[in-house]
Amino acid sequence: MKIWLYIGRFQPFHNGHKLVVDTMLAEVDTAVVCIWLSEWAEKNPYDYHTRLHFLTHLYPNIPHIHFFPLADLESDTDWIKSILELPYIWNSGGLIVYCGDRKNDSALQVIEVHQDMFEWIELNIREISRDTIPVSWTEVRKDILAGNFDRANAKIPVEVSEILKNWVPRIDF
């Protein structure tokens, strides 16, 4: 059985992320979506639970999609080991890693540098061009933090927009 992996910060979860997850679900036996645990900062305003809520609200009751936190470890090799230790990954016959694009996906860059750690798994990369849905998470986040939901709503799923309308951002950047 092949496992499909997508790693993201989802700060916030936007239409580009949704395209990747929807593509995975259309082709998948088991999908693993990892929410990168990033330290709180202006570019990371949403905590893990808020981002998990985006995903579970968008994809409720789908038995073949699983969400996991993924720690940001200092060592790239320790980080790869933590991926390999995730449920569903260790016993898989193959791993297909989804990404928006190679140039901007730091998780994918680390995985490609350390491909030798995946030697016992058939590893494939599936890139979905950012040109398909050109979304800048920086622009989306700035619009939301400024309260410009009309502009942000064109770039984020309706379900995420509804959650964010009730979200109170931290202002101590």
**pLDDT for 113:** 81
**pLDDT for 102:** 65
pTM: 0.83
Region label for 77, one of left (φ > 0), alpha (ψ between -120 and 50) or beta (otherwise): alpha
Contact 73, 37 (CB under 8 A): no
Whether 150 shows a pLDDT value over 70: the answer reads yes
What distance in Å separates the CA atoms of residue 21 and residue 128, rounded to the nearest whole number?
10
Does 74 reside within a domain?
yes
Tens-place pLDDT, residues 100-149: 666 667 777 788 787 887 777 777 877 776 677 667 777 887 887 787 87
Does 15 reside within a domain?
yes
Does 154 reside within a domain?
yes
Does 108 reside within a domain?
yes
Does 38 reside within a domain?
yes
**pLDDT for 100:** 66
**pLDDT for 91:** 62
Domain count along the chain: 1
For residues 10-17, average pLDDT: 87
Tens-place pLDDT, residues 27-86: 878 899 999 887 777 778 888 998 999 999 999 999 989 999 998 888 888 888 888 888
Does 77 reside within a domain?
yes
Does 172 reside within a domain?
no
The distance in angstroms from the start CA to the end CA of the chain is: 44
| Strands, E assignment, the chain | 2-8, 30-37, 65-71, 94-99, 122-127
Which residue range(s) make up the domain with 11? Answer: 2-165
13: domain CATH number? 3.40.50.620
